[in-house]
Amino acid sequence: MNDTTAPSRHIAPRGTTDLTSLGLAAAAAAVRNGDITSEAYTTALLHRARRFAELNAFITIDEDAVLAAARDADKARAAGSAALLLGVPLGVKDSYLTKGLPTSLGLDALAHFVPREDADAVRAIKGAGALVFGKNNLVEMSYGLTGHNARYGQVKNPHAPDRVSGGSSSGSAASVAAGLVPASLGGDTVGSIRVPASLCGVVGFKPTTGRWPRNGVAPISHTLDTTGAFARSVEDCILVDDVVTGEQAAEPFARGHDLKGARLAFAPRQFLDLVDPEVEAGFREVVRRLQDAGAEVVEVDLGDDFNALVQTATWGIFAHETMGAISEFLRHHDIPTTFEAIYEGLKPQLRQAWGHMVLPGGAGAISADVYRTALKVSRPEIQRRLDRAFVAQGAHAILQPTTPCTAPLIEEQASFRIAGREVSNLALANHTLSASSVGLPGISLPVGMSRAGLPIGLELDAPLRSDRALLTLARGIEEVLGSLLTI
């Protein structure tokens, strides 16, 4: 793994005077301080979004509306407003309801549906002065890990247009990686924030399940779903978390490239079992550098059957809850379609998958008894295993490669090879499932590039409700490893 970012094969580099190079915190400070106007910043982002429209990162951008909102933000600033995100445009995954702006959920049938309300998280960022730049492309109903959408196009990886972006929050990750917006809201059920963050080379934060508001966001599973954010730095994720939750950060571990006091765990038998050699080598180099910076890193073993336990329980809960969760969401928010109509309109491969495991009569559907066992037996057992690291070993976080490989080729996204073994694209979530299964907070950091110039991600999972400690630890690790985000 290289210590510096390899030159991008697709996205043009940005100079230091380019407004689109600003991160979220820097852009917000520049607008608040009067160094730049929201209108100038928004205009620069719109130019870049037009330039790289072929990435398919956005389904909807209302240029007139976002420019009008930017001018209003400049007027508010002149009148004395100092809101945290005043005048800064953010991307929003198109599974979030947005008042007055089309919300498709990735479906052709809802291409022109305009909600009368905002999702709670959208309301929060607007309340802090942010602008909705546009609605990010996503996999239909957030059901997929590669970024393919039959109606709105495959989201392409900004580092290589022939590679997938990851999913389901595909456009959110790609738009941040490509500098189209400084941050974006996404959603994560089994890895839909962390997988694309890893493959696109940005920071992706999944809070403790239920900590961020989910109202107004199209669901898959009430047990597993969470909203979250993408940004180019941990500091920017902390800022979004401030806005959405109102919480304050804990004291950081790192001061002057020092991680003394940080205790980290990794489970090589569970998380290095099926990993590309280059990704494993990069991960082990990261572990060495963290140890050199003073972190204590311990190996743990979560058990021979841990991966099978996580896979069976999590995918079972995921599929069993989908029909009820979506049906209730459509009813509650008066969305002009039905679950049955959505099912009939899905692309063939997704309709086949739903028919197999989501519909109650499907050959792969799990029974109510098996579902209850997953909730009442398997999840507590998974948590007990993880507590071996968090409680018995005193670990602040568990480390693993976020994805077991770099971004697969678009043309091979249904089936590809990892470490010589043929796998389906579900393997991209192999390492993100464990945190999702029991609701842990998790974050993916870009920590290097492959020889082919593709990002490699590091995931940190922390105990329940330790989100702010996780974010400050991640900020310290980011400082130690150095920023590898410039493209």
Contact 121, 162 (CB under 8 A): no
Q: How far is it, in rounded angstroms, from Cα 154 to Cα 459?
A: 25
Q: Characterize 229-257 residue by residue with b for buried, 16 or more Cβ atoms within 10 angstroms of its Cβ, and e for exposed.
A: bbbbbbbbbbbbbbbbbeeebeebbbeee
Q: 56-97 pLDDT, tens per residue? A: 999 999 999 999 999 999 999 999 999 999 999 999 999 999
Length of the chain: 487
Is 376 a known active-site residue? no
Residues near 313 by beta carbon (within 8 Å), at least 6 away in sequence: 374, 378, 379, 382, 437
Contact 120, 97 (CB under 8 A): no
Is 175 a known active-site residue? no
The per-residue pLDDT for 9 is 52
As for how many domains the chain has, the answer is: 1
Q: Which residue has the tokens 């978390």?
A: 241
The per-residue pLDDT for 247 is 85
**Which residue among the candidates 192, 233, 444, 450 is catalytic per the annotation?**
192
Q: Which domain holds residue 67?
A: 19-481
**Which residue among the candidates 168, 172, 378, 434 is catalytic per the annotation?**
168
Computed over every residue of the chain, the mean pLDDT equals 94
3-state helix, strand, coil in the chain (%, to 5): 40, 15, 40
**Does any domain span residue 366?**
yes
Contact 196, 167 (CB under 8 A): yes
The per-residue pLDDT for 258 is 81
Q: Characterize 334-360 residue by residue with b for buried, 16 or more Cβ atoms within 10 angstroms of its Cβ, and e for exposed.
A: ebeeebeebbebbbeebbebbbebbbe
Q: Which residue has the tokens 């995918």?
A: 315
**Does any domain span residue 57?**
yes
Residues of the chain with pLDDT under 70: 1-17, 249-257, 483-487
Q: 197-211 pLDDT, tens per residue? A: 999 999 999 999 999
Contact 75, 98 (CB under 8 A): no
**Does any domain span residue 451?**
yes
Task: Report whether the peptide linkage leading into residue 168 is cis, meaning its omega lies within 30 degrees of zero.
Answer: yes
DSSP state of 165: -
**Does any domain span residue 6?**
no
**Does any domain span residue 321?**
yes
Residue 370, class by beta-carbon neighbours within 10 Å (0-12 exposed, 13-18 middle, 19+ buried)? middle
**Which residue among the candidates 8, 93, 175, 444 is catalytic per the annotation?**
93
**Does any domain span residue 7?**
no
CATH of the domain at 366: 3.90.1300.10
Is 38 a known active-site residue? no
Contact 349, 472 (CB under 8 A): no
Token digits of residue 140: 């239909």
The per-residue pLDDT for 253 is 59
Record the pTM.
Answer: 0.96
**Does any domain span residue 208?**
yes
Q: Characterize 380-406 residue by residue with b for buried, 16 or more Cβ atoms within 10 angstroms of its Cβ, and e for exposed.
A: ebbbebbebbbeebebbbbbbbbbbbb
Q: How far is it, in rounded angstroms, from Cα 178 to Cα 196?
A: 13
Residue 368, class by beta-carbon neighbours within 10 Å (0-12 exposed, 13-18 middle, 19+ buried)? exposed
